[in-house]
Structure 1
Amino acid sequence: MSMMKICHAPEPGGPEALRFLSVERPRPGPDEVLIRVGAVGVNRLDAMQRAGVYPVPAGANPVLGVECGGEVIEVGAEVRDIAPGTRVAALLSGGGYAEYAVAHWRHVVAVPTDWDDVRAASVIETFCTAHETLFELSRLAPGERVLIQAGASAVGSTAIRMAQHVGAEIVTTTGREEKARRLREWGVPHVLNYREVDFAEAVREIFPDGIDVIEDFVGPAYLARHISLLRWRGRLAFVGLLSSGPAEIDVASVLTKMVQLRGFTLRPHSSDEKAQVVERFRRRWLPVLASGEIEPAMHGVLPFDEAVEAHRILEAADNFGKIVLRL
């Protein structure tokens, strides 16, 4: 019996609830590949799952981790176009905080030969999420105005890079001046510190007639102000929930401005839907990343054994961009 180390949260709690355990190594199913994990991305949903506030979808692996970079070492009988030895980035239903993980073969992409596993693990979940919310749901077009909340977060900073790439006008928020400074160094023209100004009033001063798209990581606490900022046929995508509870909606505003409100979470997608998401990433953004046209923000790389510290950094919002654990 081949064994491996995993990191999981047997009981809900803070970062200190994480535990390491030795378990049997998985085997791939007919349509799956087995990956020797070299690095795993740390995402807010990992922290939410660990805390017991993110229900694991039915049938998903309950071990933390929804993306990884590594090497395929075994393939199922129905797998096509991927051979052992291929280095990949993979979306996972769970199980990434482990030395080995299985993924559906259509949920992995071969990465450029000059990428290491850390680079592979740092991009696929954030780029898939940002693409689906900005472009598939919100249909952001060149020249349109977009408000991206939490601009220093992993997905927020990725959304900024994408919006810059297509030539959108960007407003973003952050709660720390050092993060605001770095975002300005990126060339973001309008960076608001929400601890110092009312972001909605500031946005109205910049764009009195409103904005087209909002990438919303906050949820109920900001919803009324977000709807007030959207102009005719404005679009809002709920990407996260940094606040909780009910929210009041000005339905008249939604109706008269023909506003669209859409929610998104990647993990519960069906296998076919997730394969389509991955394919859109592979076609549109992997070449841009490989060429260096977009350089994503990387906060830091920690050893796998320091997963507790990685979660502490994430929960304290000390990160600018992605946190990755290296195995």
Structure 2
Amino acid sequence: MRAVVVTEPGGVDALEVVDRPAPEPGPGEVLITVAAAGVNRADLLQRQGMYDPPPGATDILGLECSGEIAAVGEGVTDFPLGTQVCALLSGGGYAEQVVVPAGQVANVPRGISLLEAGGLMEVASTVWSNVFMMGKLKSGDTVLFHGGSSGIGTMGIQLAKAFGATVVTTVGTDAKADFCRDLGADLVINYRESDFVEVMREHDLAADVILDIIGAKYLESNIAALATAGRLVVIGMQGGVKGELNLGRLLAKRAAVMATSLRARPSSEKSAIVSAMVAQVWPLVADGSVRPIVHATLPIEQVRDAHQVLEDSSHSGKVLLTF
């Protein structure tokens, strides 16, 4: 089968389409013939040698995919052959076939195509586990998403609005600001032009939950933007890994800082997240309240171009690879 690997860490030229033996499902696993795979910023970090696969995972890139069940391992009864599914992966999505534990697989929700589903599982699972399960966002709360036009941001805006929250987000261009407003964001702040803490104060807003992809660079500002008993959930470190935390300010707000990673969790935890997320999110996808936002679809042979789109931050929504 065709698959994408990195022989030596580096730029987009480090990505190679190679031939690999097709995998076979073991007990509790399914084999998926891949239709589409989502491109995520974590894939860029892996390509650069900064985010190694967890122990035992394939070196083939790709953390989510959609496709059809081609075979099942012992003990799997929920997925008849040919079922259209999407999956949360530890790796292997950039390939014509992938093996994944059955608990990390879900039927493609009604209302979207098999192709669109290729960019759904990673963002939906990330937002649900971090904003709702850990951050405990509820109706009437205010949530701040950094990078509102990203795959995670576009999913987060829609889900938070569907559950009755006020949504604030930061973006880097006016075009992306308009895009996020169209998705339902209540306040959109261009971080190149304004300080998001000041703008939120001007609008008498403080965040009950912040989902942060920046890390150290935004740590002090994020704490300032939190409401009393607010929760800061850090899932990325684009702005560095070391920052100074004012514990006094944190104590005064009775606030919490959490940092999480989805990929390295054991399959049992991922399966629990997928199960909870599907129960809450799939009905919203089916009725059109939430939809996957696809910026571009490229064949696997153009994987370098797909990574370049994310590096340039020129996208709004997901970039998908197809087979």
TM normalised by structure 2 equals: 0.97
Note the alpha carbon deviations across 1:107-127, whole angstroms, 9 max, x for none.
Answer: 101124664331221111100
Whether the 8 Å CA contact 1:161–1:296 is kept in 2: the answer is: no
Does 2:86 correspond to 1:89? yes
Closer, same or farther: CA 109–174 of 1 in aligned 2, 3 Å: same
Note the alpha carbon deviations across 1:265-306, whole angstroms, 9 max, x for none.
Answer: 111111110110110121111121122121232111111111
1: CA distance, partners of 2:180 / 2:80: 40
Q: CA deviation at 1:54?
A: 0.8
Note the alpha carbon deviations across 1:80-105, whole angstroms, 9 max, x for none.
Answer: 21121111001111111000100101
1: CA distance, partners of 2:74 / 2:290: 36
Does 2:60 correspond to 1:58? no
Specify the alignment match of 1:258 in structure 2.
254
Specify the alignment match of 1:300 in structure 2.
296
Whether the 8 Å CA contact 2:37–2:321 is kept in 1: the answer is: yes
Query: In percent, how many aligned pairs have the same letter?
Result: 39
1: CA distance, partners of 2:39 / 2:249: 38
Q: CA deviation at 1:9?
A: 0.9
Matched residue of 1:241: which SS? Answer: coil
2: CA distance, partners of 1:79 / 1:157: 33
- Residue of structure 2 aligned with 1:146, choices 143, 152, 156: 143
Does 2:222 correspond to 1:236? no
2: CA distance, partners of 1:113 / 1:132: 22
**After the TM superposition, which residues 89-168 of structure 1 pair with which residues of structure 2 at under 5 Å, given as runs?**
89-112=86-109, 115-168=112-165
- Residue of structure 1 aligned with 2:285, choices 276, 279, 289: 289
One-letter amino acid of the structure 1 residue matched with residue 214 of structure 2 = V
Q: CA deviation at 1:258?
A: 1.2
Q: CA deviation at 1:128?
A: 0.4
Whether the 8 Å CA contact 2:117–2:292 is kept in 1: the answer is: no
Closer, same or farther: CA 113–136 of 1 in aligned 2, 3 Å: closer
Specify the alignment match of 1:321 in structure 2.
317
Closer, same or farther: CA 243–270 of 1 in aligned 2, 3 Å: same
**After the TM superposition, which residues 128-277 of structure 1 pair with which residues of structure 2 at under 5 Å, given as runs?**
128-207=125-204, 210-277=206-273
1: CA distance, partners of 2:145 / 2:184: 14
Does 2:69 correspond to 1:72? yes
1: CA distance, partners of 2:9 / 2:214: 23
Note the alpha carbon deviations across 1:214-272, whole angstroms, 9 max, x for none.
Answer: 11111100101111121210101112111114100010111121111111211111111
2: CA distance, partners of 1:167 / 1:105: 32
Whether the 8 Å CA contact 2:111–2:285 is kept in 1: the answer is: no
Matched residue of 2:120: which SS? Answer: helix
Which of 216-225 and 51-60 deviates more?
51-60
Does 2:29 correspond to 1:32? yes
2: CA distance, partners of 1:187 / 1:132: 21
1: CA distance, partners of 2:24 / 2:111: 28
Gap regions ≥5 residues in structure 2 = none
Closer, same or farther: CA 75–243 of 1 in aligned 2, 3 Å: same
Closer, same or farther: CA 235–69 of 1 in aligned 2, 3 Å: same
Q: CA deviation at 1:172?
A: 0.6
Matched residue of 1:181: which SS? Answer: helix
Note the alpha carbon deviations across 1:154-179, whole angstroms, 9 max, x for none.
Answer: 00111111111111111111001111
Gap regions ≥5 residues in structure 1 = none
Whether the 8 Å CA contact 1:31–1:79 is kept in 2: the answer is: yes
Closer, same or farther: CA 33–191 of 1 in aligned 2, 3 Å: same
One-letter amino acid of the structure 2 residue matched with residue 87 of structure 1 = Q
Whether the 8 Å CA contact 1:35–1:101 is kept in 2: the answer is: yes
2: CA distance, partners of 1:149 / 1:114: 28
One-letter amino acid of the structure 1 residue matched with residue 243 of structure 2 = A
Whether the 8 Å CA contact 2:29–2:101 is kept in 1: the answer is: yes
Closer, same or farther: CA 39–172 of 1 in aligned 2, 3 Å: same
TM normalised by structure 1 equals: 0.96
Whether the 8 Å CA contact 2:110–2:286 is kept in 1: the answer is: no
Does 2:300 correspond to 1:310? no
One-letter amino acid of the structure 2 residue matched with residue 85 of structure 1 = G
Q: CA deviation at 1:205?
A: 1.2
